[in-house]
């Protein structure tokens, strides 16, 4: 099957049905391995066992931004090429990205209380991630409440592209402003500042969460294609009844 064939929803569904069980199995296995490594990782010399929250918080933070990045590419596909599968991809990614952003905010807050002494501060990193979560909710509202799905999709695509400005702000907020949130310790000049005994479980958990994201995204895209088929069949049914 050529890559261009995947632009056809029926062929895409065939591929998803074939790939999804394997992807789900790989996700479960990687989570089992990652969680075992995370639970056996040593405590941090300053934070103690609360460092275990990092194995959830950091992958969720990465996926919250990756989800918006994926939606931004899909938004370009919707607005520039008007490809229906691009719109399906964007719509399917929005609730998953919102869920990971929610996990990022809640786990960060639960990590902040014992390490910083507070659940929340209005610093640039935390606030920009909260803005990302609100943007996700805005996109979902446009998708779910628009009377005309086409107009809703285009409005959601425009909001997605406007909201993409927030992604570099989130990434560099810890460098541009004074924040309670620590600066980058993994992806930075000079290499990772995290000890390998904690870094490896974190990378494995990040891999597991990423596989989970793509498994859920493909499954949600399949559902959205089926939902659109239901809609078009109902319109045909209504036209036949009228005629």
Partner 1 sequence: MNLGPHADFIVAAYAVTVFVVAALVAWVILDYSTQRRILGDLEVRGVTRRSQRKDDR
- Region binding partner 1 by CB under 8 A among candidate stretches 122-130, 175-183, 195-203, 231-239: 231-239
Residue 49: count other Cβ atoms within 10 Å of its Cβ: 11
Residues 122-161 that bind partner 1 (CB under 8 A): none
Tell me which residues in 55-94 interact with partner 1 (CB under 8 A): 56-57, 60
Nearer to partner 1 by Cβ, of 57 and 154: the residue is 57
Residues β-bridged to residue 44:
48
Residue with tokens 């996109």: 139
What would the two tokens of residue 198 be?
């904690």
Under the binding rule (CB under 8 A), the answer on residue 28 touching partner 1 is: no
State the minimum distance, in angstroms, from the CB of residue 146 to partner 1: 19
Nearer to partner 1, 35 or 164 (CB): 35
Question: Could you give the CA distance from residue 184 to residue 190 in angstroms, rounded to a whole number?
Answer: 11
Residue 99 binding partner 1, by CB under 8 A: yes
Size of the site for partner 1 (CB under 8 A): 38
- The whole-angstrom separation of Cα 93 and Cα 66 is 10
Residue 35 backbone phi and psi in degrees, to 5: -65, -40
Whose Cβ is closer to partner 1: residue 116's or residue 200's?
Answer: 116
List 73, 79, 84, 102, residue binding partner 1 (CB under 8 A): 102
Token pair for residue 241? 């009844």
Contacting residue, 111, 136, 143, 214, with partner 1 by CB under 8 A: 111
Question: According to the binding rule CB under 8 A, does residue 18 interact with partner 1?
Answer: no
When asked if residue 15 is in the footprint of partner 1 (CB under 8 A), the reply is no
Residue 130 · residue 105 · CB < 8 Å: yes
d(CA 25, CA 143): 31
CA angle centred on 20, ends 16 and 21, rounded to 5°: 140
The span from the CA of 161 to the CA of 92, in Å, is 16
Candidates 16, 31, 26; CA nearest to 85 is 16
Question: Which member of 6, 73, 110, 167 binds partner 1 (CB under 8 A)?
Answer: 110
Using CB under 8 A as the binding rule, whether residue 197 contacts partner 1 is answered as: no
Contact (CB, 8 A) for 213 and 67: yes
Q: Which is nearer to partner 1, 154 or 202 (CB)?
A: 202
Q: Kindly state the smallest distance separating residue 226's Cβ from partner 1, in Å.
A: 4
Sites of contact with partner 1 (CB under 8 A) = 10, 39, 43, 48-50, 52-53, 56-57, 60, 95-96, 99, 102-103, 106-107, 110-111, 113-114, 212, 216, 219-220, 222-223, 226-227, 229-230, 232-234, 236-237, 240
């Amino acid at each position: 099957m050529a890559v261009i064939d995947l632009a056809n929803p029926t062929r895409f569904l065939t591929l998803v049905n074939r790939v999804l069980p394997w992807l789900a199995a790989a996700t479960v296995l990687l989570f089992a391995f990652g969680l075992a490594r995370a639970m056996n990782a040593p405590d941090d010399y300053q934070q103690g066992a609360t460092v275990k929250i990092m194995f959830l918080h950091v992958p969720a933070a990465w996926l919250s931004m990756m989800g918006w990045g994926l939606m931004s590419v899909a938004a370009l596909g919707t607005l520039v090429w008007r490809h229906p599968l691009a719109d399906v991809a964007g719509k399917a990614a929005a609730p998953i990205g919102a869920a990971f952003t929610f996990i990022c905010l809640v786990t960060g807050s639960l990590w902040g209380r014992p390490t910083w002494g507070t659940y929340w501060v209005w610093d640039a990193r935390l606030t920009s991630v909260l803005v990302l979560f609100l943007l996700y909710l805005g996109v979902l509202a446009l998708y779910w409440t628009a009377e005309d799905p086409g107009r809703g999709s285009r409005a959601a695509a425009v909001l997605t592209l406007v909201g993409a400005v927030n992604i570099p702000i989130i990434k560099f907020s810890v460098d541009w402003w004074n924040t309670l949130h620590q600066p980058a310790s993994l992806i930075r000049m000079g290499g990772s500042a995290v000890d390998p005994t904690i870094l490896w479980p974190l990378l494995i958990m990040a891999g597991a969460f990423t596989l989970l994201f793509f498994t859920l995204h493909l499954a949600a895209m399949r559902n959205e294609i089926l939902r659109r088929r239901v809609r078009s069949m109902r319109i045909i049914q209504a036209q036949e009844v009228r005629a």
